[in-house]
Structure 1
């Protein structure tokens, strides 16, 4: 599965971004460039799905794919070979990759799973009469959240456990058998200790990379299940209740977004924040990717939007310099980036060499 995920990223970048851009995407680097790449190349569902990926491991895996004849290129840029495209499209895992939702579930997933695991450990131990156990998570914020939910259900833990079992069972029925097994075996209870990812890898003959990716995919499926069925799984819904109203952007862009919402101009925001106007432009492009109702009229006319959209469609590229030159420099890089953000092109791009 990890191989297919990498092939998909390389293919969508079309040689217009470096191999490092793939690494930053998967590890969820909170930079304006990575977030914009994720949206522009329709890879936002992969954002942050493998935060623990080691850079050397990533580099070695790319070399391995090159040696196997699946990708071509150098350390800077790469593209899929015919063999790479054939491998990607013949595998059954391709459809499952679409179930990732990294940009939306990035923050939510980790907190939900950590809360759930600690809550299961806590209530199963206490219900079994064991009040002295070593918590599997020492994060004070997560412990505090679990403590509140425990006291809320303290009067009838058996009922609480039964409800949680039924809600999780409904979720697990919708997974493949191996996915359900991996999910369950990662939990620690009163009489069992959850398996590590290394143990899962050995037990089911999976690469460590595939275990990481499969685990994250299962977690995303859980979040999606809860959101779609929150009325039917009220206990599980509590684990993400305070996490859903969250716009994912860099901290700096968020500050500019707040000032923009208060009616400040770009120049005023730059002055207030002691930043360059170009930096605020970066923030506005980042905001545009997230806010679908973003009003472009302050920065570019409707005629300009249409001209840029037509140019992108005709050239079949997202390269800013190429687009700007074709439009005879009538529009700035900032304006072109805004249009790309609000109206992402749905075109099959030509294979191009270089940046």
Structure 2
């Protein structure tokens, strides 16, 4: 069959390039805000300068938000183009006109026997013990960005995870996540990723179900689950925006956790972090902050037991800054009017 329309791989590549570019610019904006805050300058001129700078940086961030929305639209166009260009015109969502975003109910079905998957077990537990990050172990899949986000959810809002997973039949689960527009998608999951995340004893967990649903979500968009960004995972899991920063002060880190926000830190692009128990090119959950002691505790998605990469590491804030190149903040509720760079939650105060 002759395929008509856009080259969807090029569209996806362009959308990803836009995302990469806005991410880099956000880091520069954050660095500029930090530099302005660090200048010991007082008086009316200083206040006027900081106010003007705050306005300009907020405008730049709004512009980047718009570019990100355009990037999301391109990805949606690519998905739609693949759907209508397929041999049956229906895509891979199921028996009806579902497409990658599912049918009218927003449901995407797991084929159940996809290559690289195992059947899901019945009665996978959802209690606090089962959701405890200390009982979770990343497998051979490079999705630390996703698992560290799930750990953040389990620590900050475990009920959110439970409310979005339901066993509708023995071994068949519905996992609700969200598309690029924040619209809910229900993934019917009856398998888990082979070699994926498991509990400390090797048992399947809620993390395993989310990992499978996220793999289905990415597969519909032509993206592999190996490698990714915490902000994308957080937004898909929660339906709310997430923001990445090149640095946050220890007080800002503590404030985000106090607000119940999801906070991750990653060593992406850093081969030799500043702390000997932190792994390079890896994502962690920021679990707690002690502003009096000046320490930050992070949780590794890997299993416990490795003395060179413990499950939980407490390090000084200075070592945290040396080890982690980015900090990502997500949320399970809509961002407040006064949140964002320059106002409200402390991030980017000028």
TM-score range, shorter chain: under 0.3
Q: TM-score, with normalisation over the residues of structure 1?
A: 0.23
Name the one with the larger helix percent.
1
- Structure exhibiting the larger radius of gyration computed from Cα positions: 1
Q: TM-score, with normalisation over the residues of structure 2?
A: 0.24
Name the one with the larger strand percent.
2
